[in-house]
Structure 1
Amino acid sequence: MAKLDWQTEEEAGWDDLPPPPPPRPRRPRRWPWLLIIVAAAALVAYLAATRVQQRVNAAAANVEADVRAGDGLLYSALQAGDEELLRGRLSGRDAAWTDTQLVLAQERLALGDAARLFGFLPRPGARTIFTVTLSPELDEALVAVDQRYVLTTTGQLTQNITLRQELIYRPGAAGWLLAPPADENAYWGTWYASSGRYLTVQYPGRDAAFAERLALDLDAQISVLCRRVECAPDYHVLLRLERNQASILRLSDPRFLLDGDNDISLPAPSLVGLPVDDAGYQALSRAYAALVTQATIVRLTEWECCARVAFYRAFLAWELRALGLQPWPLVAASYIRLLDLPLDAPQLEALWQVDDPAGITPTQQALAYALLEFLLGVPGESALPADLLASGSDIRGSASFWGWVNSISEYDRRSAGALAADWAAYVFAQARARQTAAAQAPRPGLPNQDVLALCRDDRWRLLRYDPAGGAWDNLYTFSYDQATGVALPDDSGLLLLDFEDDLSRMRTVLWRPSESLVVADAASDPLVFPDWQGAGDPAGQLVTVWQVSRSERGGGQTSLLDLASCTPAGCRLQAMPGYPTWSPGGAYLLALDYGRLTLSLGTREGGAWTTVADQAISPFWLDEQTYGFVQGVDRRQSNDLVLRRVGDQSARTLLSASDLQAALPPERQGNGLVIVQAVPLPDRPEAFLVLTAGRPFPAGGIFEITRPDPAVDWWASEITITWRSTSDDLSYAGGATVTPDGRWLDAYVLSGESRRQVFYNLAQDELVLRSVVNERSQFQSVDYSADGQWLVRLHAGYLELLHPGRDEIYREAVFYDYDECTAVVWTDRE
């Protein structure tokens, strides 16, 4: 057994052991620092990236805001019709594209307005940007715009539709500008085709989803037509949906789709606006179907454009309504416009001879619609019989208007008078019935005034019509057999004449809502008769009358009646040497003696009159000190427009008719001109209009006279003459005014053998309304409201309220059941 030498720990000789080797130095740990560095770098990178992204987002947001601002400026330029501003909002990289945009804008077909050609009316203020998509380089923006429209269904109901259109913008020196696609082929995509039994549709890939569905619907629509009229076995139509905006302009051509061509080109839906829902698809596809069906009918009837085109269009409209593709074009307002025209056989016979679609006004076209409706019955209840459809409703084969009329009715040339009478009564009845039943367009704000009318049933009465409530009230009942009246110049009432034909009994009555004062009667000397010569005293105190002295046989004298002086004993009268034309402030007035053609100057206080011109007509005021007149009345010779100043014996011949003729374009130089009237512009003191008649008659025109430097008055200024408009069938006849906003010229013209009132849109240089004047009323048959915003006109059987708005004229007919009415005015409410 081994012997072990055990020792305790205390006994062991530990101190004798060699010392342990020194520890090896440890390498420092680097990885925590690396982690810290990496984390810090990541944090810095993250923060930098975030800041960069924020800056990118901020830059993109700023760019998007700039794009939206550029779109707003473009839209504002379009709304204002400002070509110079619009040109500045268009890219100039493609001159042809830019020119097309300007033409589209001029025709009111730019951007979303192209949908007008499909029957969609843009709702004002209902245009919104849906999205703005920016390119990565922020050098291009695709802007999706939603436009809401109103259209009329075949049941004459209104429907709201939204179409979405994509616009391209690129940056330019003046901001973001509307631009064409950089690559047309890449933007629109490959061409495709879809074919059916009767129809092939070619379309760009961009519109494939819409076009494929449209092709099926159109083919089915043509099938319906071919079941009614036997189509040839190989009958086929090619429809191409064009990506070129020139296709919009072609569609606006009145002759388009009337030439019977098999190949039809229409704007692609992307140019008009793509529907955002199924209701929009149904509406837009129905509009395309109407256009394609119209072209198909033209071909099937073998009609050659454009004989008797107004009546052939009426026939087409009848068929499209029967097929459920378009509403019948006549609405309540259409019949009111028809009442502007002579509803007689010569008017219809003349329209039958017209073979130029561009030469037919909307109102003339409505004549054809109304006659077809009168002869055939309610449109849309049934389509035309197949034999009439096949022959173009006999329009193609009829040599004369009466031959066509007799082919579809019992009327013929021998019963022309009966046709005219029956048709005119029908139009009037339709106008009244539909005006009552139809929902009115939103009415502009009414003045704080009522309409007063002199009308007769069993007795003559002064009636009040409340435009807001539509109620009639009897205010005053006349005692005798005849009645006339004119408005007081302050619109507080009327000066009435109640009389017998032989004047054995008569009385002149100053009528206001609060009083009725007899100021003259059959025993008075002089006799006092109300007289109306347009604008009255600006101060509202003096009213024009005609006084006749009992001591004089026949004749009489124009006078001013002082309303403030009137008592039961009479009124103070101030004799005048002629009919007055007041200065703007009412301190001075010109008096024109229509018999001697002498012009005199005086003051409202009366006293001496100064003769300032002979052989003068049409006096006017440019300001409180400067007045003018037309001198020389022989239509065979040129005449002059002359200016004078109050207190100055000298005169300035500002221009002559030959000066105006020199301003005409070359093609108009052949006709001579005669100056008829000068018309001040309320919103532009540096300019006025001159209206002319033709020599030979009619060929009238409108010219604008401007002083280049408004700081120089008319007496010393040079002038610029600008031709605005001429018409081959109108001759201006005086009595013209301009509405307070300066946008509308309200004038009287001679057209053929009738006198008409016309409204000319000065902002658009467009004649908008041409209405026959009520010649039966020899008294005040028209009157403007105190604010100048509303006009009331008297017609046989109805009053008409007109509001010349920014671009259009609101019209409303108020039918009455009285035997006749002879005067109408606006007056203040109590």
Structure 2
Amino acid sequence: DPTSFQMSLSPSLYEAELTITQTYRLRPTEQMITLQHTSVFRQGRNRWLYAPPRPSFWGEERQISGAYLTTFYPTRDETEALALHEFVDRYVAIYCEQTNGRCSDSLNLTLRLETDPSTLPDIFNIYLATFWTTTRYQSIELPTLSLVGLPTDEASREALFGHYAAYVLAGINRRLVIDGRLGQEPFDRVLFNQQLAALGLPTYLPQEPVTILNTADVPMFETLGEYESLWSVASLPLEESYSLRAAQLVTFLQSVAPETDPLAIQRRLAAGSFTRWLEEVTGQTRPELERMWLRYMLEQDPAQTPLDTSQLPDQLIKLLCTVGDRTALVTYSPHKDRWQPAQTLAPTSRFDHIFHALPDDQGYMLETRPHTDSDLWSMMLVRSAVDQIIFQPDTHPQPLSYAGLAHPNGRDLLLQTNNEAFGFTEFRLLDLENCDKDSCELSPLDGLPVWSPTGEQVILVGFDGLHLSTAVDSEQQRIGRGYAPFWVDENTYGFLRTTRPGTQSGVLAAEVDMVLGELDTGKKVVRTAGQLLAQLPAPALPSFQIQLATASPAQGMVYLVGHTLETNAYHLLAYDPQTETTAVRYTFDHPPAQPSFSPNSRWLSLTTLPKSNQSDNSFITLHLIDLRRDRAYQWTISLPPEIDPSTWQPDWSADSRWLVLNGREYLHLVQPTIGREWRTIHDYESCHSAQWLTP
């Protein structure tokens, strides 16, 4: 509603002028201004009609010239027009000085204050600002002040004049800085907006902290390369999301090079490429900037709260990293958030390295694998700085590799080697308590061992089936042909077997059954997929093809992973051998792999490859199921190129409370009991194989 109004009638009573004083809120600054409007009405046949003013209302056109600006205005607005001219000319002079001489001495800018109402929308849209160029002068047209409203106080005058000045400077910026350049419009808007803010003129984008720029709707991109489309694509629409994206990147560049002003950054947009622009603005190389961006993005993440180090285990994290052309063994201290000096290893061009912590986290295995036969392999067992044993070809002709498995007693490690003569894998046991300073005793095995919970029983997986033994060197009993053996408890074992071809929804598929056996009775029970489905509460799954199996002696449960063809979904079933009941515990969209338990058996982890990333294997999703509380969590990380996602597993701390996930750029510390994740960035080209170790 108007705050006041006045009305005057012509002597003929045919025409009336209504002067209204109105308060407005200017956006985006939200500043309140008061303007006075004069409207003309004329009598119609039945009522008063709003009408355009007569030419005499405006008076003749006049002009005034300044250092850079010539202003044409109607006589009616002379008082305010002269003040506006002085205001705008002063800011043009300031801006021309900032352009370091780009405004030539002969620059003649013309501001025409027009009485045509069609010019009204322009004043609040500086992105349309451009000078109409003739052979003699450059002209810009804006509505005269009476069309917009005459300011009634100094604060309103300053605010309104600021919009005129901003529009004129936008035209200068477009002509002298952008100068016909195509593309980069979102960056031009952000950077010119910052220039206006520095001059104290009205801005047209929100001047928010960078934490506001990183919103749920417009989150920061993971890499700088994802911003390149904003730089290279011409004529992007005036959408706020594009400006927010550009502001995210500009704010980052200004944090790297705080001495560089917005105008200088905008000028460099004329660089030949996105990478060249980044490097010219910051003085850093593109790879350096990518790493700095990751650290910067992590600092702006509102979910990245400080880590409570008192909750961390008294352990360190070791991992393999690439340093130049070599691999290095690096140590990270979570308590101090500190990366310790690296131990340099062999060149990456000639060797691959494999790193495993020992089962008790009291040492590690470090394997060196040559790319060609001209170099020698080695495997080093490290239990302390002075307790190191190296396995080499002079004592072991065939390369040895630690399988990452151990006897439940923790002292017998499972090693494997390739029998090149017969083309199969052989297994050895390394007894940690039967080592001298130079070597350890190795015992051959007849197959891959799967130990019972106490280790007193073992199932050996061999070429001719599965064999049961009370000790690896005692007489063996064949229990059948199958795969994926497991132990439910010390008396009950199980495995999977392929029986006969079958159909699932009309598709030919092999039938897979689960076999459960008891040592004390010798009894074996077969559970088909159909029987497992029949034990599910309604509504049951339409079908189920068993693919993976594992068991948790702590819960006495069997966990089966399988596929339902009708829904193209994958399910985790929990089977209780005591009650012979089945329940669906989890559903996956993609094929899961690598089921494993935490040291305390509370957590079951599985991995999947997101469908959109299965082609490059760069991402993997970890599914973590709390078997105690029947809850599930998941994390998706970018894997280092050295890691095979089909065999990747996370590493648990000794207390089973923390996971370390080694992503391509980050080290992820996960506390699954509260579903929280902390990330830290390393300064190496690439890192992998992060493991907890007890110092």
**TM-score, structure 2 normalization:** 0.53
Tell me which residue corresponds to 1:505: 376
Contact kept? 1:780, 1:822, Cα under 8 Å: no
Q: Establish whether residue 452 from structure 1 lines up as the match of residue 318 from structure 2.
A: yes
The CA distance in 2 between the partners of 1:377 and 1:583, in whole Å, is 55
1:691 to 543, 547, 561: 561
Q: Which amino acid aligns with 1:673?
A: Q
The CA distance in 2 between the partners of 1:679 and 1:371, in whole Å, is 51
What secondary structure sits across from 2:361 in the alignment?
coil
Contact kept? 2:28, 2:205, Cα under 8 Å: no
Q: Establish whether residue 724 from structure 1 lines up as the match of residue 585 from structure 2.
A: yes
Query: CA 1:592/1:673 → structure 2, altered by over 3 Å: closer, same or farther?
Result: same
Deviation per CA, 1:325-368, whole angstroms, max 9, x where unpaired?
A: 9944559xx879x69xxx989xx9xxxxxxxxxxxxxxxxxxx9
Q: CA deviation at 1:699?
A: 0.8
The CA distance in 2 between the partners of 1:473 and 1:613, in whole Å, is 51
Q: Establish whether residue 749 from structure 1 lines up as the match of residue 608 from structure 2.
A: yes
Deviation per CA, 1:673-715, whole angstroms, max 9, x where unpaired?
A: 3342234274xx2544332234379411122334xxxxxxx4x
Deviation per CA, 1:756-810, whole angstroms, max 9, x where unpaired?
A: 332345446444434455452258763211221111222223322222124x133
Q: Establish whether residue 563 from structure 1 lines up as the match of residue 435 from structure 2.
A: no
Q: Establish whether residue 827 from structure 1 lines up as the match of residue 659 from structure 2.
A: no
Q: Establish whether residue 431 from structure 1 lines up as the match of residue 294 from structure 2.
A: yes
Q: CA deviation at 1:518?
A: 3.3
Tell me which residue corresponds to 1:650: 523
Tell me which residue corresponds to 2:594: 734
Q: Establish whether residue 674 from structure 1 lines up as the match of residue 542 from structure 2.
A: no
Map residues 289-438 of structure 1 onto 2, 5 A cutoff: 327-330=212-215, 374-377=245-248, 429-435=292-298
Contact kept? 2:210, 2:248, Cα under 8 Å: no
Contact kept? 1:321, 1:328, Cα under 8 Å: no
Contact kept? 1:536, 1:582, Cα under 8 Å: no
Q: CA deviation at 1:528?
A: 4.2
Q: CA deviation at 1:747?
A: 0.8
Q: Establish whether residue 579 from structure 1 lines up as the match of residue 448 from structure 2.
A: yes
Q: CA deviation at 1:540?
A: 1.4
Query: CA 1:320/1:532 → structure 2, altered by over 3 Å: closer, same or farther?
Result: farther
Tell me which residue corresponds to 1:632: 498
1:540 to 386, 410, 413: 410
Q: Which amino acid aligns with 2:665?
A: G
Q: CA deviation at 1:627?
A: 1.8
Tell me which residue corresponds to 2:460: 591
Query: CA 1:652/1:824 → structure 2, altered by over 3 Å: closer, same or farther?
Result: same
Deviation per CA, 1:419-442, whole angstroms, max 9, x where unpaired?
A: 9xx999988643322446775244
Q: CA deviation at 1:632?
A: 2.2
Q: Which amino acid aligns with 1:827?
A: L
Q: Establish whether residue 818 from structure 1 lines up as the match of residue 687 from structure 2.
A: no
The CA distance in 2 between the partners of 1:441 and 1:705, in whole Å, is 38
Query: CA 1:499/1:705 → structure 2, altered by over 3 Å: closer, same or farther?
Result: closer
1:494 to 349, 361, 364: 364
What secondary structure sits across from 2:594 in the alignment?
coil
Deviation per CA, 1:294-315, whole angstroms, max 9, x where unpaired?
A: xxxxxxxxxxxxxxxxxxxxxx
What secondary structure sits across from 1:659 in the alignment?
helix
What secondary structure sits across from 1:433 in the alignment?
helix
Q: Which amino acid aligns with 1:809?
A: R
Q: CA deviation at 1:733?
A: 2.0
Contact kept? 1:496, 1:530, Cα under 8 Å: no
The CA distance in 2 between the partners of 1:470 and 1:691, in whole Å, is 38
**TM-score, structure 1 normalization:** 0.45
Q: Establish whether residue 616 from structure 1 lines up as the match of residue 483 from structure 2.
A: yes
The CA distance in 2 between the partners of 1:371 and 1:526, in whole Å, is 62
Query: CA 1:227/1:536 → structure 2, altered by over 3 Å: closer, same or farther?
Result: farther
Deviation per CA, 1:451-495, whole angstroms, max 9, x where unpaired?
A: 111233254332222211223334754356423232222221112
Q: What runs of 5+ residues in structure 1 fail to find an aligned partner?
A: 1-194, 198-218, 229-318, 349-367, 382-408, 707-713
Query: CA 1:721/1:472 → structure 2, altered by over 3 Å: closer, same or farther?
Result: same
Query: CA 1:223/1:450 → structure 2, altered by over 3 Å: closer, same or farther?
Result: closer
The CA distance in 1 between the partners of 2:531 and 2:206, in whole Å, is 53
Q: CA deviation at 1:444?
A: 6.3
Query: CA 1:473/1:464 → structure 2, altered by over 3 Å: closer, same or farther?
Result: same
Query: CA 1:817/1:721 → structure 2, altered by over 3 Å: closer, same or farther?
Result: same
The CA distance in 1 between the partners of 2:553 and 2:30, in whole Å, is 56
Tell me which residue corresponds to 1:787: 655
Contact kept? 2:638, 2:664, Cα under 8 Å: no
Contact kept? 2:406, 2:413, Cα under 8 Å: yes
Query: CA 1:765/1:786 → structure 2, altered by over 3 Å: closer, same or farther?
Result: closer
Tell me which residue corresponds to 2:398: 527
Q: CA deviation at 1:643?
A: 1.4
Contact kept? 2:536, 2:583, Cα under 8 Å: yes
Q: What runs of 5+ residues in structure 2 fail to find an aligned partner?
A: 4-23, 34-203, 231-238, 253-268, 279-284, 502-507
Contact kept? 2:213, 2:248, Cα under 8 Å: no
Tell me which residue corresponds to 2:533: 660
Query: CA 1:434/1:489 → structure 2, altered by over 3 Å: closer, same or farther?
Result: same
Tell me which residue corresponds to 2:467: 600
The CA distance in 2 between the partners of 1:545 and 1:568, in whole Å, is 19
Contact kept? 1:330, 1:369, Cα under 8 Å: no
What secondary structure sits across from 1:478 in the alignment?
strand
Q: CA deviation at 1:523?
A: 1.9
Q: CA deviation at 1:374?
A: 4.3
The CA distance in 2 between the partners of 1:697 and 1:511, in whole Å, is 49
Tell me which residue corresponds to 2:623: 759
Query: CA 1:738/1:492 → structure 2, altered by over 3 Å: closer, same or farther?
Result: closer
Tell me which residue corresponds to 2:281: none
Map residues 92-241 of structure 1 onto 2, 5 A cutoff: none
What secondary structure sits across from 1:736 in the alignment?
strand
Query: CA 1:511/1:665 → structure 2, altered by over 3 Å: closer, same or farther?
Result: same
Contact kept? 1:526, 1:547, Cα under 8 Å: no
The CA distance in 2 between the partners of 1:493 and 1:429, in whole Å, is 33
What secondary structure sits across from 1:740 in the alignment?
coil
The CA distance in 2 between the partners of 1:627 and 1:638, in whole Å, is 20
Contact kept? 1:693, 1:733, Cα under 8 Å: no
What secondary structure sits across from 1:431 in the alignment?
helix
The CA distance in 2 between the partners of 1:322 and 1:609, in whole Å, is 76
Aligned length: 446
What secondary structure sits across from 2:368 in the alignment?
strand
Deviation per CA, 1:182-224, whole angstroms, max 9, x where unpaired?
A: xxxxxxxxxxxxx999xxxxxxxxxxxxxxxxxxxxx989997
Q: CA deviation at 1:719?
A: 1.8
Give the percent of matched residue pairs that are identical in Structure 1 and Structure 2.
19
Contact kept? 2:210, 2:251, Cα under 8 Å: no
What secondary structure sits across from 2:403 in the alignment?
coil
CA RMSD of aligned residues (A): 4.9
Query: CA 1:326/1:489 → structure 2, altered by over 3 Å: closer, same or farther?
Result: closer
